[in-house]
Each structure stands twice: as structure tokens, then as C-alpha cells.
Structure 1
């Protein structure tokens, strides 16, 4: 009974934190995908507005150019008619020619302004296209990372000769298992001490580690029953049944250091519900 009373002093994380981690990951992913969708929508809306503005400016400039051409034609016609019928002086004809030259200059400047505005709009549209492409690239990278994590998960045979569940080889893959929700997972970081550390439905005591061969020995305490797991290997599913039940519990260690192991315990859903 003294050993049982010491179980609460362990340094491992408990299962109560696992749903919060899962909610946090899903929330971050949802916010990220939402931001990507909003950025794409905003970029398209801004692109459409700028195109409409450029089209409107072009129409106005073309209308102004046509008006100037009409004015020039009318002035030239009036000048010709006046010269023929009224016999304008040389000075008046020079003034008419000067006015015509001014109108041509205004036409030239309008054409240059139009060409400059069109080039500016094209540059802005190119920048927007690049931003939209970058947002799409980020979305593809996120999807590829999730798919790669899912493909790396695998099953193997545990130390009791029973087919294991999916095995996580690092914390990222463990988060993917938690997201799937097929079992309950309790991650731990246990150091060698004289006291048991509580991890989910069991307590763990690290006896020794062998970093060269990546092996470890631990003692488990479940329902006041001690179970020693000796010389277990990195990523080997360590299996045992809870006393009086058919529920298989699995322990996987994916990091072995001097007097320290890092991994997780997985239990069926009904075990966590009955605790």
C-alpha cells in the first residue's frame, strides 16, 4: 500500500491533457485553412476591382482622345472654310495652326498616360497573381505533411505475440493517432527514480536503460499487480492485460536516453471511460 500512495508523485503527463492538445491542434488547423480561404477570396476580389478600374480608365481616355480628334477636325475644317470665304490674315492662320499643334500635343500626352496606366495595372495584376500562388502553395504543403504522417504510421507484433495497434515513432505521429481517436493515448517522459510515475491507468517505474542497444527495463503497477518488462527494444509494443479484463494495454517507447525514456501508453476507449 505504501507504493500505491506514492504513485501521485510521478512526473508523467496524464490523459486529461490529451483532449486539450487535440482540440488545440484541430483549432489551429481550422484557423489556418480559414485564413487561406479568406486570403484567396480577398485576392480575387481585389484583382476584379482593379481590372474594372483599369477598364473604366481606359474607356474614359479613349473617349477623350476621340473628342480631341473631333475638335481638331472641326477646327481644321473651320480654318479652311474661313480662309477660303473670309480671307483670314496670315496671323490668324498661324494662331489656328498653333491651336492644332496644341491639340496634337495633348493627344500625344493622353496616349502616353494611357500606356503608362495600362503597364502599371499589368504589374499590379502580376503581383496579385504571385500572392495567390503563394497561398495555394502553403495549402498544398499542409495537406502533403498530413498525408505523409498518416502514411508513416504502421502496425507490428507486440511482445505478447499479439498484433498491435498503429505505432507512432515520434510526437508528430502520436498527435496523428490522438486525432484519429481510435484509442486513448497517454504520453510520458519518465526518468529513473525510486518512485512510480502515474501514466493513464497504470504506474511506471524505469529500472534501467541501455542507450547503445536502445533497450530498457521497466516495472508496471496496475491494480496492485507488478509486471516487469525486461530488455524491451525501442518502438517495440509492450503489451499486457489489465487484471480481470480482456483489455489490451500497449506501451511504446520511441526515445531511449541515459536513465530516461519517452513514449506513450495506449488503452481502449472503454478503459478510460471506466476509470
Structure 2
């Protein structure tokens, strides 16, 4: 019996505790719900106020847009009127610009064709010039060879040149016995050299003097000639090839020399050497 009372007492205490715990939970849940409801109301009020402000701002913007649209329409009407007034002028100007463009294009095309033609001509000329250059190079190669050969010949000629004593017993220096040796003396440039050919009984003016062939013996290689200088006749009789024929002439009495290096029938060839 006592055990039964104790069990009932324990069950009653458990039930009271459960009721108290449940009441606490209900109070906490109610407090939370109340907090959430208050917070949501404040949020709604804030959103409503913001919406009202946005509506007011939107109305202001709509009013401004309406006014702007009116201004734009008025401007478009004025612009349309102006464009309508200048349409003919615009069409005329467009035609002029198009004509100018066509003329410019035609001119440019003609210039391009002329340029192409000039380029083709220049290319052709360049090809010709290249060919000429190739020919010149070949000629230069040949000229170099000729120069080298000429130098060799001049060196050989120089070795053959001899000095002599003239018919006035004056040392004449180097004398030439043929045209090659005479060319060497000309290039040497120590004196002036005048080459000539004299024919029998024909007087020839050589530099400042005159020469006249009186006799020519090709078999014996001997000759006779007269020198006319300073109004005097100087006879050089029975002379031989390569012999310097000397005489003085001019105000300063300068020494001239005549050398004959070929004797043919009624004709001799040689040169006159004068001081520089």
C-alpha cells in the first residue's frame, strides 16, 4: 500500500514537471513569435515608406520625360522643316560630290596606268642598262688587260730607247726610232712632240717652224731637208735615220730637234721635239 502511494506521488511530480516545462516552452515560442511579428511589421512599414518615396520620384521622372518628349517632338518638327527646305540643295550637292569622286577616280586610274607604263619603261631601261653595264664590265676587263699589255710594251719600249748626240754635238737625251717609242716619250711628257710626214718639195708647217723635204733615198735610208725658222733656212743634208737634227730658234734661242724614223720614196716620217 505504501509502495502504491509512493508510485502515485512520483507520477504526480513527473506530471507537474512536464506541465511546467511545457509552459516554459510555450512562453518562449510566444516571445519569439511576437519578436518576429514586430520585426516583420517594422520591415513592412519601412518597405511601404520606401515604395511611396519611389513612387513620388517616379512621378517626377515621368513628368520630366513628358516635358522632354514634347521638346524633342518640337525639335524634330523644326528639323524636318529645315531638311525639307534644303532637300534640293542636298541632292544637288550629292550629285556634285559623286561627279567629283568619279573624276578623281578616273584621274587616279589614268595616273596609275601612266605610272605602270613608266615603271615598265624604267624596267626595260634598267634591263638595257644592266646589259650595258655587263658590256662595260667586259670592256673594262678587256681594257685592264690592254692597259697591262700597254704597260708591258711601254716598259719594253723604255728599255729600247737610246740617247744620242745631235748634229750640233749636244746630247739630246732619249730619242724615238718608231711610233711606239714616240708614244712613250709623249706620255713621259718631258718635251712637246709633233709627229709629221713630209713629201718631197712640199713645205709643211710644224709648230713654229716649217720643214721641206728635198731628197729621200729609201735604199740607203738617207734624206735631205730644209728647216725654215726665224726667216732663216737651215739645210740638213744627207742625214740618216734616228739622227737628232738640232737647231736653235725663237727669241730665247731654244733647242729644237728633228728625228726621222722612216724613209720611203719621196717621203719621210718622224717628229719634232720642242722644249716645254
TM-score, normalised on structure 2? 0.47
Hey, which of these two has a bigger chunk of strand by percent?
Answer: 2
Rg larger for: 2
TM-score, normalising length from structure 1?
0.47
